[in-house]
Structure 1
Amino acid sequence: MAGFREICGTFLKPRTSLRSSFLPSQVILLRRITTRLFIKGISFSSTELTFKEAFSKYGEVLEASIIRDKDKGRSKGYGYVTFATSHDAIKALDDMNGKLMDGRVVFVDLARPRRRMDSCMPISSGKPEPVESAAAE
């Protein structure tokens, strides 16, 4: 039991920097998903161009998108940045988290992998068909 607490304690300790927050074994697991970052707290006046310029000083930005309201076209206050390499993404995460961008503090985190909507529970398309039991035959 003490060994379990020790193992869990290494994962649950609060850390201040990304470089010190992950063990080497965890970094190996995160290499595939660290090229895309989630940024929240984006100013409503920010554009994709200014958003991309703010993050391009940390490396090559492949895509920078601000999520917008479909009806009003106004920014929802969050977006995603995709980097060419995971090293650039980690450097941007360390440096930009909690910094001012266009007059607002932005918070940067690793983006979660996209969920596939077709892998969820099947959707019913009508009344269920009656199941014939083997005992009736």
Structure 2
Amino acid sequence: MAAVRKIIEVNRNKILSPSLLSFRRGIAYKLFVGGLSFYTTENALSEAFSNYGQVIEAKIVTDRVSDRSKGFGFVTFASQDEAENAIEDMKGKTLNGRVIFVDYAKPNINTRGEIPIARGPPEPTSTPDT
């Protein structure tokens, strides 16, 4: 709950959507881990964070074409306390020769429920002649 209180304190003047508050209510707490070495494996990531509690999942994001790591990933913990301890202790530490950044993962908010597809520039809009 401390993390939710921090969000509310920081964003008092802003309108918070319910989805921003509900993403941490579940039984799992997902952390974003940035600055990973391209040689870091999911097993190594899970092992590095397992010192702070039960790691449910460790996932490294890879490029679809080259199947190479994009240099970031996600670690999911079973409890909020374990996740907060991991953030405090692992932020700024070195993993496989690279300094990593750790914070709560932001929820994937897709307002219209559509998959974004890039298909080039938008069609030119016609303006009425005046």
* Pairwise TM-score range, normalised by the shorter structure: 0.5 to 0.7
| 1:94 aligned partner | 88
Unaligned runs of 5+ in 2: 10-20, 115-130
Task: Give the structure with higher Rg (CA).
Answer: 1
Unaligned runs of 5+ in 1: 1-18, 121-137
Q: How does 1:1-137 map to 2 (within 5 A)?
A: 31-32=24-25, 35-116=29-110, 118-119=112-113
Q: Percent identity?
A: 45
Root mean square deviation of aligned Cα = 2.6
Q: Aligned pairs, how many?
A: 99
Look up the equivalent residue of 1:108 and give its one-letter code: V
CA-CA distance at 1:114 after TM superposition = 1.6
CA-CA distance at 1:118 after TM superposition = 3.6
Q: Which has the higher helix share?
A: 1
Look up the equivalent residue of 1:65 and give its one-letter code: K
Residue 109 of structure 2 aligns to a residue in which SS?
coil
Residue 57 of structure 1 aligns to a residue in which SS?
helix
Relative to the length of structure 1, the TM-score reads 0.63
Relative to the length of structure 2, the TM-score reads 0.66
Look up the equivalent residue of 2:52 and give its one-letter code: Y
Look up the equivalent residue of 2:25 and give its one-letter code: R
Residue 32 of structure 1 aligns to a residue in which SS?
coil
| 1:8 aligned partner | none
